[in-house]
Amino acid sequence: MSTDTTASVSTHILDTSAGRPARGVAVRLAARPGRDADWRALGGSATDADGRCEDLPALPEGTTHVRLAFEVEPYFEEKDAKRRAEAQQDAPAHRDSGAAVFFPEVTVTFAVLPGEHYHVPLLLNPFGYSVYRGS
């Protein structure tokens, strides 16, 4: 929750290749009090069954920039292993690459203002992603 002197952040992930929330994706949060300041790691969380991180750390007073880092490679590796086990075939994971995912991590950096709430959804698939400021 934001106050007049701090901003707040929330996020969720939708796996657009499955049309479902992405469960179990680790998300790290960092902040800084100005574009020339050093990043301060604040901690993280993991997405729940609805693809949401309900317990991201609060932002410190004076935060002007936020960075969310989504560790998506383990999510896609697990999803690919389940798919292979269910299919029981030796076909490659994807036509274009031997890797289960092209982007192993998605990092999103954005500016914030005190008193505002920022919901940053991640729309994800193995070979692309999109983010936006939600509500």
Q: Where are the domains of the chain?
A: 8-71+105-131
CATH number of the structural domain 8-71+105-131: 2.60.40.180
Encode the chain (135 residues) as per-residue pLDDT tens digits: 566 789 999 999 999 999 999 999 999 999 999 999 999 999 999 999 999 998 999 999 999 999 999 999 999 998 887 777 777 655 555 444 455 679 999 999 999 999 999 999 999 999 999 999 998
- H/E element, 69: strand 65-71
Q: Is 90 exposed, middle or buried (0-12, 13-18, 19+ CB in 10 A)?
A: exposed
> In degrees rounded to 5, what are phi and psi of residue 92?
-60, 155
Query: Are 75 and 105 contacting, i.e. CB atoms less than 8 angstroms apart?
Result: no
